[in-house]
Amino acid sequence: MKALIQRVSTASVSVDERCVGKIGFGLLLFLGVERDDNDRSLKKLADKVLAYRLFEDEQGKMNKSLLDVKGELLVVSQFTLVANTQKGLRPSFSEGADPELGERLYSDFVSYLRESPVSISTGCYAADMKVSLVNDGPVTFMLEV
């Protein structure tokens, strides 16, 4: 399971020109689910996202987590994150989860995050989405479990 996280001032996601998810200050998370992922990996990644220190403290150092700053989280499924780009000029998606497993783990990932005090918004799994964001920093990290 992979998460590309970006610290944002604001972010939104639309489907068919209709906004389905929007946040202010917090994190935009693109989630890629691989075929060997399971409930344990989703909980491990979700816990890491909530506790990952990428917000500045009073001294300007990245020492605060999403929980510490009471930020919001926008979760968007992104199958292309699991692509293998090592060979050739075309990505391979052989490590990606099949659609049923991917959707279940994405939904369970979001449900698990909703148990936290963080405000969660989402995109629509497997939809053609348009994502808008203002990256703060810019600060972007790839988290894998």
Q: What is the pLDDT of residues 10-55, one digit of tens each?
A: 999 999 999 999 999 999 999 999 999 999 999 999 999 999 999 9
| Burial (Cβ within 10 Å: 0-12, 13-18, ≥19) of residue 87 | exposed
Q: Is 55 an annotated catalytic residue? A: no
Residue type, 75: V
Rounded Cα–Cα distance for residues 5 and 15 (Å): 21
Instruction: Give yes or no for a contact between 83 and 91, defined as CB atoms under 8 angstroms apart.
Output: yes
Q: Any idea which fold 2-138 has?
A: D-tyrosyl-trna(Tyr) Deacylase; Chain: A; (3.50.80)
pTM for the predicted model, two decimal places? 0.96
Instruction: Give the whole-angstrom CA distance, residue 123 versus residue 126.
Output: 9
Q: Which element (helix H / strand E) includes 67? A: helix 66-69
Please tell me the predicted confidence (pLDDT) of residue 24: 98
Determine the average pLDDT of the residues in 119-140: 97
- Point out the catalytic residue in the list 80, 86, 93, 141: 80
47 sits in which H/E element: helix 39-51
pLDDT of residue 63: 98
The question of whether 6 is a catalytic residue gets the answer: no
For the segment 53-78, the average pLDDT, to the nearest whole number, is 98
Say which DSSP state 125 is in: T
- Which residue in 30, 78, 109, 122 is the catalytic one? 78
Per-residue pLDDT band for 111 (boundaries 50, 70, 90) equals very high
CA-based end-to-end distance of the chain: 6
| pLDDT tens per residue across span 69-95 | 999 999 999 999 999 999 999 999 999
Q: Is 79 a catalytic residue?
A: yes
Among 6, 30, 55, 79, the one annotated catalytic: 79
What is the per-residue pLDDT for 38?
A: 97
Average confidence (pLDDT) over 102-127: 98
